[in-house]
Structure 1
Amino acid sequence: MKIGLISEHASPLAIAGGVDSGGQNIYVANVARQLVRLGHDVDVFTRCDRSLLPLVSRFENIRVINVPAGPPVQLPKEQLLPHMDAFANFMIDFMQQEAQPYDVVHANFFMSGLVGLRIKDALGVPLVTTFHALGRVRRLHQGEADGFPDARFDIEDELVRRSDSVIAECPQDESDLIHLYDADAARIDLVPCGFDRAEFHPLDRREARDRLGWPHDRFIVLQLGRMVPRKGIDNVVRALGVCHAEHGESADLYVVGGNSDEANDIATPEIGRLRGIARECGIDAHVHFAGRHGRSELKHFYNAADVFVTTPWYEPFGITPLEAMACGTPVIGADVGGIRYSVAHGETGLLVPPKHPGALAQAIATLKRDAALARRLGDAGLARANAMFTWSSVVHAPRARRARCAARFRGARHAAFRHQQSERRRARQVRAVCA
C-alpha cells in the first residue's frame, strides 16, 4: 500500500528530548521504517519549521514532506491549530498530483487528525488515528496550564466518530477513549509502542560508564526524556533528597534531555527550575544535567545506570521505560497509563504513585540495598520487552486493520482519482486550444 503518515509537530528527523520532541517523533520514525520493511511506500508529512528545509527530505527509503503551513520557524504545538487549514490544503493538492493514490493516511495527534478528516472528505482516503495524548486527560491533569483551546475536544470527538480505526496505545488509553469520548470499542485497535533491538540492548555497565565519564563507585539513577513539568522530573529530584536525608542512601541523578546539546538554563528553563529544587533539597552536587543526545548514544546512558526512573503525572504510553528494559536496566515508573502496562510491578520493575517523592525514594533505596532484586527485575524486564514490545511486532499488529480500511475504499477512491486525472488532462487540452 501507499501510506501517508501525518505528524504536524513531530518530525521523524528531529532530535528527541526538547519541549515538543519526544515519543511521537520516535513513534512516527519507527512505524514508517517498519512499514517500509514490510514492503509499503511511506511518506511522512510534517510542518516545515525551518526556512532552509527542502520540500522533501529523506531518511532510509522514506520521504519526509516538510509542509509549508505557517511561518517556517519552530512554534509551540499549542500555537499550530490555526495553521492546519493550510496544512490540509497543501496535502490535498500534493496527493492529487501524485502518480499513485494513497491507500490510507495515519494521523498522529489531534491536529494531524483534523488534516486527515479534510483529506478523507476531499479524496475519500480512509483515516487511522493515533492520538498520543487526549485533550480531556491533559486538561484533567494540567488544568489552566493546558495551552490548547477547548476546540480540541470537539475535534477529538469528531475524530473518534469518523476515523476508520483509532489506535489506543495501552489499556488505559482504550478505556479513556470509551468512557471520555464514547468511542466504539469495535473500531479501537490496541497497539503499544515499541523499541528497536538494533538500537537498544544490554552492554557492559563499566564500559558504558567509561564512555560517558561516569564514576564507577556511585549508585546512579537515570531520568531521560522531554523536559516539561508534567514528566515529573521534579518528583525524582525530591525523591533523591529523601533518599539522602531519610534513608541514609547516597545516590546520583543524571538527567538527559533538553533543547540543547549542553545543559542550558536559558535554552531549557525547566533545567533552571530543577536546579533550584536540587539546591532546596541540599543535593545539588548529586544532580547532573547531561543535555540532549542523539538516538545512537542513548543505549550507553540506559546501560550505565543502576536504575531508570520516570514518574510523569500521566502517560499515554511512554517509550523510555521500554528502552531501559531493553537494555536490562531495572525500571521504577509512575503507576499511570502505558507505564502500568509495560512495567509489571514486582516482576519487571516497580510502580509508584506520581507526585509522591517518599514512595519513589523508598523504591530507589530498596533497589540500592538489594542488588539481586535489581538484577532480577532487569532480566525480567529485558525478557518482557523482547517478547511484547519490539517495533516489528507492534507494526504487524494493526496491518490487517489498515488493509481492511484500504480495501473498503480502494475501488471508489481509485475511480475518483482517475476522474480527477481525466479532468486535469481535459483542462490542459482546453488551455492548449485557447492558447
Structure 2
Amino acid sequence: MTKRVGRSPRRFVSAQKGRGAVFNLRLPPRGRDQPPWRRSRTSASRGSSSGAHGRRTVAIVTPYYPPKIGGVEQYTARLAAAVAADPGLRAVVITTHLDGGLRTRVTTEDGVRVVRLGAWLKLSNTPLSPLWPLQLRYWLRRTGADVVNAHAPVPGLGDLAIVMAGRRPTVLTYHAGSMRKGGPGSGTADRLIGLYEKALLPRVFARARRLVAVSPVSLAEGRPHAVRITPGVDTDRFTPGEPSSRRARTIVYVGRMDRSSAWKGVDVLVRAFARLAGDVPDGRLRLVGDGDALPGLRDLADELGVADRLETPGALSGAALTDAVRTAAVLALPSLTEAESFGMALVEGMACATPVVGSAVGGIPHVVADGETGLLVPPGDPDALAAACTRLLADGDLADRMGKAGRQVAEERYAWPLLTARYLDLFRTL
C-alpha cells in the first residue's frame, strides 16, 4: 500500500506485491516542480525520457487496461501500441489494478511501460483512491510525460489526470454519452451521475487542451476543441470465415456482464433467445465475457427453459475470441442507453462478415446501417430482437449480403491504422 512516511522531505513508499520491488518515491524540491519540456537537458536526461532519447512521451491514463476486456481497454491498448511504434514518441500507461491491490506495480507489457495504481474502494464500476493526485503527479514527472491523454467516462482517474497534468498539454478522450442508467433502483446513482455530468465534467472538458469524442453521442462531441476519432478493429485479425448461411446457428454476445453494466441489456437477449428457440430448434446462444451478473443470467435461462442451449465460455481473447465472432451466425448487442456510445463488438462482427443486430440507441445507429450491414431494433424489446435474429438465421442470402457489406465498411472506416494515425498527428501538434 502506498503510504506517507515522513513530512520532510516528502517521501512515499510502495512495494510491488510478490516481486519484492520497492519504490522510494521522493518528490523533488518545489523549484524543480516543472514540466519536462522546461527542464535543462541535464535534468531531462535524469528524469525525462524525451530529453534522453529525443522522443516525446505520451502518458495514456485510463481506469482500466488489458488484460481486462472491454471497449475502452481495447481502444487504449491499441493507441499505446501505435504510440510505442512511432519513432518520435514513447508510450507509458497509468491505470489501476485488476485485482484491487493497493500497491503500485510497474511492468512492461508488449513494449509499453504500464504503471498500475492501487484503489482503496470501488463504487459501482468506479475505482477510487485518495492517493491518486499525489501518485499521478509523481508518475507523470518520473516517466517524463510530455503529453497526457486521459480516458473517461469512469469518473476519477481520468479527471484527476487532466488536473494534475500541470502545464503539460492534455487530451481527454470521452467514450460515452450520458451514463445515467434509467433502470429500477437507479435513482440515487442517476442523481449523482447527473450532478457529475452537469457540474464537474464541463470544467474538466474546459481544462483539457483538446477533446476526442469517440462517436456522435459522446458528451465531448460538438465542443469547439473536440475532434472525433472512433474505435477501430484489427482487420488483419478479425477476418471473414465461411459465409454466415453455412455457419452453425449461434447468436453471440461479446462484452462485460456486470450488475453495474445492466444497461448492456444482456438479460433482454436471453429473453429474446427464449422466444425464438421454438422456431430455431438448432439455435444456440453464446455469451462471451464475465462479470458478477453472469450467474443471474444463467438462472434466467434456466427459468425460461433454454439453459441447455446457453454457452458461457467466459472472457475470451486472441484466437479464441476471433473464432467465437467468426463462427457465429449473428452477433447481437442489445444495449439500452446512450452509455453505449459506439459498440466495438459490432465492428468486430462486421470485420468477420458476421451480420449484426443492435439496439437503435446511443452510437449504434451510427455504426450499423439498418438493412445494409445489420438490423436495428428498439432497445429493451425482446420480441423485436428475437424477430431480427430469427430473420437473419432464416434468410441465408440476406445474412451473407449484410456480412459482406459489413466487412467492406470495417475496412474502409474502422481499420485501426487509419484511426491511430490521427491520434499521432494530434499528439505531435501538442
Q: Structure 1 residue 88: deviation in Å?
A: 2.4
Partner of 1:360: 385
Paired with 1:287 and 1:177, the residues of 2 have a C-alpha distance of: 38
Task: Name the counterpart of 1:2.
Answer: 57
Q: Decide which of 359, 372, 375 is 1:347's aligned counterpart.
A: 372
- Distance in 2 (alpha carbons) for counterparts of 1:249 and 1:172: 38
State how far apart, in whole Å, the 2-side matches of 1:326 and 1:272 are. Answer: 30
> C-alpha distance in 2, partners of 1:351/1:399?
34
User: Is the contact made by 1:88 and 1:115 (CA closer than 8 Å) also made in structure 2?
Assistant: yes
Give the structure 1 partner of residue 209 of structure 2.
164
Name the residue aligned to 1:28: 76
- Change over 3 Å in CA distance of 1:89–1:221 after alignment to 2: same
Deviations 1:157-197 (A, max 9, x none): 21122211111111122xx446xxxxx62211111001113
Q: Residue 105 and residue 144 in structure 1: after superposition, are their counterparts in 2 closer, same or farther (change >3 A)?
A: same
**Distance in 2 of aligned mates of 1:145 and 1:316:** 23
TM-score, normalisation: structure 2: 0.77
Q: Give secondary structure in 1 for the equivalent of 2:401.
A: helix
The aligned residue for residue 283 of structure 2 is 251
Match of 2:316 in 1: 293
Rounded Cα–Cα distance in structure 1 between residues aligned with 2:351 and 2:103: 34
Task: Tell me by how many angstroms 1:248 deviates.
Answer: 6.2
Give the counterpart of 2:403 among 375, 378, 386: 378
- C-alpha distance 241-170 of structure 1, shift in aligned 2 (>3 A): same
Letter in 1 for 2:254: L
Partner secondary structure for residue 380 of structure 2? coil
CA RMSD of aligned residues (A): 2.6
Per the TM alignment, residue 149 of structure 1 is displaced from its structure 2 partner at its CA by 3.8
Structure 2 matches for 1:42-57, cutoff 5 A? 42-50=91-99, 51=101, 55-57=105-107
For these two proteins, the number of residue pairs brought into alignment is: 362
- After TM superposition, give the deviation of residue 79 of structure 1 in Å: 5.1
Larger relative contact order, structure 1 or 2 (CA cutoff 8 Å, min sep 6): 1
1:303 and 2:335 equivalent? no
What is the CA–CA distance in structure 2 between the aligned matches of 1:61 and 1:395, rounded to whole Å? 17
8 Å CA contact 1:205–1:303 kept in 2: the answer is: no
Q: Cα distance, 1:251 vs. partner?
A: 1.8
Shift of 1:321: 0.7
Q: Distance in 2 between matches of 1:147 and 1:337?
A: 17
Q: Which residue pairs with 2:68 in the alignment?
A: 15
1:192 counterpart = 2:230: yes
Q: Does 1:80 align with 2:113?
A: no
* Counterpart secondary structure, 1:344: coil
> What is the deviation of 1:313?
0.8
- Aligned equivalents of 1:272, 1:119: Cα separation in 2: 40
Conservation of the 8 A alpha-carbon contact between 2:250 and 2:284: yes
Alpha-carbon distance between aligned partners in 2 of 1:218 and 1:57, rounded to the nearest angstrom:
41
Q: Taking structure 1 as reference, are residues 383 and 217 closer, same or farther at Cα in structure 2, changes over 3 Å only?
A: closer
Query: Partner of 1:358: helix, strand, or coil?
Result: helix
Give the structure 1 partner of residue 271 of structure 2: 238
Rate the CA distance shift 1:67–1:302 in 2: closer, same or farther, 3 A.
Answer: same
Closer, same or farther: CA 342–165 of 1 in aligned 2, 3 Å: same
Give CA-to-partner distance per residue, 1:111-137, whole Å, 9 cap, x none.
2332223323xx301111122235x44
